[in-house]
Structure 1
């Protein structure tokens, strides 16, 4: 794996929108958060562009990614929001440029596609964490979520336990491996493409928002039939918010999870506040981690050098 360099006060971060168009007022509202950390902020050239449900054309959004990667003054790229659109860019990203200029890349949701594609093409560790317009600008952006940015300034091992949230064991055991994954719908959409998620011997993180039980069922079935669940060393189930069924007769989300995970043969634990939620516990992807259902813990190695 390639570890990006840690941040220092006085560094400049780049903010871009590779998927949906962020609310410009929310982006501006979030900028002081980084300035308080002693960081300068540079916005992407096309961050305010609107092309339907996309933040500009594919060419414009791709240009912002490449510009930020190539700019030696930019030490980290923090995405403004998710939405939809990063998968459209994957085939044209200059992965050699990223490998030659490794830097912090931070976001989640639709950014899952970029996390997976970049990691598997370059070996770069990236970060699954809250973004400007969708999280940091909120009035209830909390202390724990904010404190997760500290791991960018100093290599820090992360310890998740029930001190943060209640954790439920679906299958017992202990496993270690690289932490990979993210948004379930994006992972499912990668199947059959050159950017298909590799889960062999890895701890697979899954989270999503606004997906009813039958939709989660279908996407987990897709991963199962593709061998992605059986390949995993362990499963980390993050937040699945707004997942209530809209029909009168439905399986519960819990029943869906039990069906796919109870007899999987590896440790599976749910309840992690990772995903579309606050607090939002940021994790580096691509680093070694240990999952234990006995101590109900997830320990993750540092993501910067």
Structure 2
């Protein structure tokens, strides 16, 4: 065997090992949040552009009964990032290590969390399990930390989110009351004959159980091939996104299909794709067409329209927790509490 061929085969082996089957880690549930606990606000991606936005988050958390602390570099600016990668990672490592901090909430999404994954101290995180909640770009942290430690992470509100009754209710029930919640969309028709807003659409009927895994599609797809994604076998994949043309959504879901992710999952839930309507011009597919091409042929329970995504009213969805979806009713039911 020639040297060049040997190197080529070694490269292929290394690449295969990156995406090979990894047995799931033992699940670590973080302690529930209680009134009087301290929640740290961090900026792992975009900076906090105004002190007022952070103050609104602080006051909202105080109404829920929490004390707050703002991480050191939240107001730093390095272009579109809240400071350098080293500083943002240091903030995360510090709040996980800090015994006076009980929960962690990201202030914003944006971009930058994936850059932190090689810089996090996973041993510290594993030894100090605590709630980490956020969505959008925070998906990289939610998936990466779960994949590396087994810690259940939370796809839910960020500090800059709207703390309305719907969002707060799911936050409280899931993270404070330790309930095995039933997530279902609002059923309000208003003064209309049929419901228009927040409808669910069954893509393939049925009920199925599995571990909830997912988040923002763009962020998730860009982690493919890395060691910061979990094993997808027997999981329920949930996805959301914002501001993507339909052909880009098609491209990213195709990537998951070609990587074998869609073959391994047991069920599929799509939340909202905000501002993702077909573009102007001739020939665009719709998101429904994309689901019909890629999701329906799987013949696995699947639905779209869940309250997950860049929306004001959102579920708190724990990654790594066993759940059951009903694709006809459009519901997600936790089979166990997400926190202890």
Pairwise TM-score range, normalised by the shorter structure: over 0.9
Matched, 1:278 2:299: no
Q: Aligned residue for 2:42?
A: 16
Q: Aligned residue for 2:266?
A: 233
- How far apart, in 2, do the equivalents of 1:196 and 1:103 lie? 20
Q: Residues 294 and 253 of structure 1: is their aligned pair in 2 closer, same or farther, counting only changes over 3 Å?
A: closer
Q: CA RMSD in A?
A: 1.3
Which secondary structure does the structure 2 equivalent of 1:244 belong to?
A: coil
- Contact kept, 8 Å, 2:147 with 2:229, in 1: the verdict is no
Which secondary structure does the structure 2 equivalent of 1:42 belong to?
A: strand
Equivalent of residue 188 in structure 1, options 221, 225, 238: 221
What is the deviation of 1:188?
Answer: 0.5
What is the deviation of 1:194?
Answer: 1.5
Q: Which runs of 5+ in 1 are unaligned?
A: none
- How far apart, in 1, do the equivalents of 2:301 and 2:293 lie? 14
Q: Residues 46 and 162 of structure 1: is their aligned pair in 2 closer, same or farther, counting only changes over 3 Å?
A: closer
- Contact kept, 8 Å, 1:191 with 1:197, in 2: the verdict is no
- Contact kept, 8 Å, 1:19 with 1:84, in 2: the verdict is yes
118-127 or 164-173, which moves further after superposition?
164-173
- How far apart, in 2, do the equivalents of 1:289 and 1:122 lie? 20
Matched, 1:129 2:156: yes
How many residue pairs align between the two structures?
A: 300
Equivalent of residue 2 in structure 1, options 14, 23, 28: 28
Which of these two proteins has the greater Rg computed from alpha carbons? Answer: 2
234-243 or 148-157, which moves further after superposition?
148-157
Q: Which runs of 5+ in 2 are unaligned?
A: 1-26, 188-197
- Contact kept, 8 Å, 1:169 with 1:270, in 2: the verdict is yes
Matched, 1:37 2:72: no
- How far apart, in 2, do the equivalents of 1:287 and 1:196 lie? 16
Superposition pairs of residues 1-305 of structure 1, within 5 angstroms: 1-23=27-49, 24-133=51-160, 135-136=161-162, 141-150=163-172, 151-164=174-187, 165-249=198-282, 250-300=284-334, 301-305=336-340
- Contact kept, 8 Å, 2:32 with 2:175, in 1: the verdict is yes
- How far apart, in 2, do the equivalents of 1:67 and 1:162 lie? 37
- Contact kept, 8 Å, 1:190 with 1:197, in 2: the verdict is no
Which TM-score applies when normalising by structure 1? 0.95
